[in-house]
Amino acid sequence: KNISLGLAEEPPSILWGLDPLFSAFVRLYVRDILQMAESTQVPGIYFYNLHPVYKVDVLGTVVYKRERDDFFCYGVDDGTAVINCLCWKSDELKTEDPPGMERSTLADSSRGAPGGFNLLKELKELRRTQQEHHRLEIGELVRVRGKVKTSRHQREITASIYYKVNDPVMSEQISWMMELPQLYREFYDKRLQLEPDAVGYRHANINSLHRAKNMIKDFLEKKSVSRFRPHDVQDVLLPLISAQPHSPSAGPSAGPSAGQQLRQLLKEALQVLQDDGFVYRRVKSQDEVFLVTTRDKDLLMAVQDVIREDSKREKYAEKGCHVLHILSAVRQRFSLNVSRAALELVLSSLECSSDIISPSDQHYIAV
């Protein structure tokens, strides 16, 4: 399933180059490559957590192959999903004879070679080795770097570089598996933060959303609010509406009213706070009640109970409960609307108060 972003949700294309990931071959799980949203501004550009991406780097096992005159198609499985990789053949792979020399020239060179060295035979052997390196079989490990493309409603990679990886002791795969989670934590899962003040009206609106989020957050923290409805915090954003820039091309009556702008800004700011896990809604209904995650005693108790009870089971006694297990259990026993971001804030709060400990990365045990 390919997700689509609205134009208002995308960072402006003029700012994409400020993100270092934009010009890099981004190492992503295949699952995330398949699910990235395609830009509505520029086809062929995709977004992972609002980071613009168009070149990727994957390592996986070949699970199917097709060969045509000009290219190979390999299905690459990295353990999360399978993606089709279109790998163009080099000119050397399309011909049998070594390039740049006629057969007669090679034959003459071979006759005069000292010690019985056969130049034609050696060049053919070199060609065969080169072709074997690019002709992969099912079950072999391959690394592919190239551009992401959507063809016939299917996401695929058009390779600029691909090669078979010889990994008899799985050192390459282990290194890859250890590096990717770190890249996600340090770069990919951090939302893109850009300074839009200098690039005009639309970019100032993005800055307003960032400020609105912080204003609501500061208000909730200063007042020690644990639950609220949107209208309780709406007036906090009034200074932003009066300071909104006006499009020079708009007439006096153009655009939404101040009240509409306020409601839209509030809605978007609350959504960002939910994405960050700072607030959540235990029950989604017409009566919009938001709960401040780390101040919701029921949620804190529910998470602590899951860890306390499941830590006693033999399966989790040694390492503790993994964060994904805790998330699944909390959703089953407490609320389906608890996000991972919200859970991680709760876990951090419980760990700071010494109610739980983390014996290893992403595992927790009750004290």
Q: How far apart are CA 212 and CA 239, in angstroms?
A: 10
Please state the pTM of the whole predicted model.
0.48
pLDDT of residue 97: 54
Q: Where in the chain is the domain with CATH 2.40.50.140?
A: 13-67+72-88+138-188
Q: Which helix (H) or strand (E) holds 323?
A: helix 323-333
Angle at 49 between CA 225 and CA 141, to 5 degrees: 135
> Rounded CA gap, 45 and 33, in Å?
12
How crowded is the C-beta side of 260, counted as CA atoms within 13 Å? 4
Q: What is the pLDDT of residues 98-121, one digit of tens each?
A: 555 555 554 555 555 555 677 788
Greatest mean pLDDT among 172-186, 238-252, 349-363 = 172-186
CATH architecture type of domain 296-366: Orthogonal Bundle (1.10)
Q: What is the pLDDT of residues 177-195, one digit of tens each?
A: 999 999 999 899 987 665 5
Around Cβ 177, how many Cβ atoms within 10 Å? 13
Domain with CATH 1.10.10.10 in the chain: 296-366
Q: Write the pLDDT tens digit of every residue in 111-159.
A: 555 556 777 888 777 777 766 666 789 999 999 999 999 988 899 999 9
Using the predicted structure, report yes or no on whether residue 3 has a pLDDT greater than 60. Answer: no
Over residues 187-237, the pLDDT tens digits come to 999 876 655 444 444 444 557 788 889 999 999 999 999 999 999 999 998
* Cα distances (angstroms) measured from residue 326 to each of 228, 245, 341, 357: 26, 45, 13, 14
Q: Identify the CATH homologous superfamily for domain 13-67+72-88+138-188.
A: Nucleic acid-binding proteins (2.40.50.140)
The CATH number of 197-246+256-290, from 3.90.480.20, 1.10.10.980, 3.30.420.240, 2.60.40.10, is: 1.10.10.980
Q: Could you read off the pLDDT of 337-357 as tens digits, one per residue? A: 999 999 999 999 999 988 998
In the predicted structure, residue 264 carries a pLDDT above the cut 50: yes
Please give the full DSSP string across 37-87, using - where no structure is assigned. EEPSSSTT-EEETTEEE-EEEEEEEEEEEEE-SSEEEEEEE-SS-EEEEEE
Pick the closest to residue 4 from 36, 35, 37 (CA basis): 37
